[in-house]
Structure 1
């Protein structure tokens, strides 16, 4: 089972030890088991999970020097992507997983417990609410999100969490030029600046992906994020 994952990750220059390979196996098995009773993912075949969830999550190293990152928050983590694969592959990271659905948090805590991961927490709530709390606001080196949302909306959720000099990386599909262009003003309002877009293909596939890298240059105004629901209903322009 782990041979496929290992060969794919070699193309990203990531090598797993036996413990890490076992953790990915436990994660996969729990994902499939829990997916029978709740909607975690539409992707369940092992090969597809490896490519579209595990490898896609870890491809972040094409855009970020992980060795310079101390702590990460994953906003709208869902079934734990990209946060859990990043934690397994780079155990030195401190990881916060945030999701608004409590049953997903129960799943994530089961994964954390069964894999024996330390230095990772799963928290239940809305991004707009936790971003107002001093323990979380402007506290992170890196914020990541694979959540499906407009970039201006995602930026309002995510930029408040990163410290000045930190980065927010949005995982997107291949074609992002227009979305990036339309969100520039919103990102600037929030204290960020689009540094670059890194495009790549998932190893061994024709699936194109983009990382939008946003650097935080100044503190986010206290008025952001706006109250729950507004960032998605009325994205900043």
Structure 2
């Protein structure tokens, strides 16, 4: 699928600055892919659709804070920066309007962390990069927990439980999932209570975005 700026931006079009930032992101991804396995090799020719647009579709689903502070996002297993770094680039280049994000990227692989830092540098994206496993990262208050292709939902919720179960903090979960999502939900509900919304993916007819609220172990 060819890149369509009208589909890419959640607000119906992107600026030249935003396009330039993502062109630099794509070039860096292609360069680093030769040494670091960032994405599936078969998707390199579809970066705008399979990775950028797939990540950007989460933007309209991110809640704003009533106090006007930046929405704090935790992206688990960031890898090539999907979805968290894409959202940080959109925010940095004004594509999200007045919405402000504080993006935290969690990635255990040192070389992937180096890639994330390089893309953030060349695009001007503001992101805190944590070289760690999420289960070993001391929890801090977040508004959204997100992940793409990191783990099945039951394991994902368990690994992120320190962030999901903080006092006075009930983050929304935004998880990009495939056709096995119903089985994952059934398994996860054996340990977790949550409100679930299925949102059809704009990039994959078999894909969904799971929006989870009031996630409680129990």
TM-score normalised by length of structure 2: 0.82
Q: Which runs of 5+ in 1 are unaligned?
A: 222-237
Among candidates 5, 8, 13, match of residue 11 of structure 2: 13
Q: Is 1:125 aligned with 2:132?
A: yes
Query: 1:68-217 to 2 correspondence within 5 Å?
Result: 68=65, 70-91=71-92, 92-118=100-126, 120-130=127-137, 133=138, 137-162=139-164, 164-188=169-193, 193=194, 195-202=195-202, 207-216=205-214
Which whole-Å deviations, capped at 9, do the CAs of 1:26-51 have from their partners, x for residues lacking one? 11100000001121111211xx1111
> What secondary structure is seen at the aligned counterpart in 2 of 1:208?
coil
Among candidates 64, 75, 80, match of residue 67 of structure 1: 64
> Which residue in 2 is equivalent to 1:235?
none
Q: CA deviation at 1:170?
A: 1.6
Taking only aligned residues, the RMSD between alpha carbons, in angstroms, comes to 2.3
Among candidates 45, 50, 53, match of residue 52 of structure 1: 50
Q: CA deviation at 1:179?
A: 1.4
TM-score normalised by length of structure 1: 0.76
Q: CA deviation at 1:201?
A: 3.8
| Pair 41,59 (structure 1): closer, same or farther in 2 beyond 3 Å | same
> What secondary structure is seen at the aligned counterpart in 2 of 1:4?
coil
> What secondary structure is seen at the aligned counterpart in 1 of 2:208?
strand
> What secondary structure is seen at the aligned counterpart in 2 of 1:140?
coil
1:72–1:142 Cα contact (<8 Å) kept: yes
Q: Which runs of 5+ in 2 are unaligned?
A: 93-99
Q: CA deviation at 1:183?
A: 0.7
